[in-house]
Amino acid sequence: MIIKEKTSVLISVNLWLNSYKSRRAGFTLIEILLSLVLLTIVLGAVYTSFFTVQSALERFDDISLKYHEIRTALDIMRREIEGAFLSELRTQNSERKTHFIIEDRDIFGKPASRLYLTTFSFKGSGISVISYYLLNESSLRQEKDKGLILIKVESPASMALTDLPVRGTQTGNALTEDLPGRVYISEAVEGIKGFTVETLFNNKWVKTWDTKQTGSLPEIVRVSIEFDDKGKKVKLTEYARPRIGRQL
């Protein structure tokens, strides 16, 4: 009697185990839904991390390129200023044939200095007259909030300073209109917020200089370019000393 009862209990346990195993052979709808929810959360986190990293890399590339462009432009200006000189040769009106002029200007409250100088061209032999000034990029490209463009104009020193085109500061579209021969115009940097040229005079930084009045080159020149780094205002600065005709 006892043996039969034990046997029936074992049979019942085996049947229950077999029934449980058969039920566990698949997934219920709730389990599948929970798995999908968890998978969605994991994939969302992965995609968010991916796009965050991708955006950071793109921003790094853009900003790195902007820093590189501005540093290159400042380095070129530094070498040009260091090669600037003032000749004693004069015109029939007793004016010097060489110049170094800094003008203090602004465009809608943003610093927009102008720089004119006669310098030995570091790109090759010869003497060049070079000028730098800003244009409103919006007026050139018919787009809003594009910032300012730093324009460089270079010509042989045989051309008069007044021949250099600066009409673009007024019309915004005359960069190549009616230009004298052998005048080279290029965009040094675009999308900037300001351009400032200063010189140290009587222990103060001043934003104007004219060799017609001073009769000499400035001792030291400070050139700054401002730009926007994702809402943060950044200013990069370079210092230069005219070296021609001076003891090093």
Q: Is the per-residue pLDDT at 165 higher than 70?
A: no
Higher pLDDT, 51 or 90: 51
Cα–Cα–Cα angle for 106, 171, 139, nearest 5°? Answer: 75
Paired sense of beta strands 106-107 and 194-201, if any? unpaired
Distances (CA, A) of 166 to 87, 137, 176, 179: 24, 15, 11, 10
Task: Identify the CA nearest to 228 among candidates 155, 124, 145, 120.
Answer: 145
The pLDDT value given to residue 78: 94
State the CB neighbour count (10 A cutoff) for residue 66: 19
Q: What is the pLDDT of residues 2-57, one digit of tens each?
A: 454 545 545 565 665 565 555 555 667 787 788 888 888 888 888 787 777 766 66
Where residue 114 falls among pLDDT bands split at 50, 70, 90?
A: very high
What pLDDT, on a 0 to 100 scale, did the predictor assign at position 203?
Answer: 92
The pairing of beta strand 232-240 with beta strand 221-229:
antiparallel
Tokens standing for 14?
A: 């085996």
Helix (H, G, I), strand (E, B) or coil at 150: strand
The answer to pTM > 0.75 is no
Give the start-to-end residue ranges of the domains of the chain. 59-240
Mean pLDDT computed over 153-176: 53
Give backbone dihedrals phi and psi of 118, rounded to 5 degrees, phi first: -105, 130
Find where tokens 């921003």 sit: 59
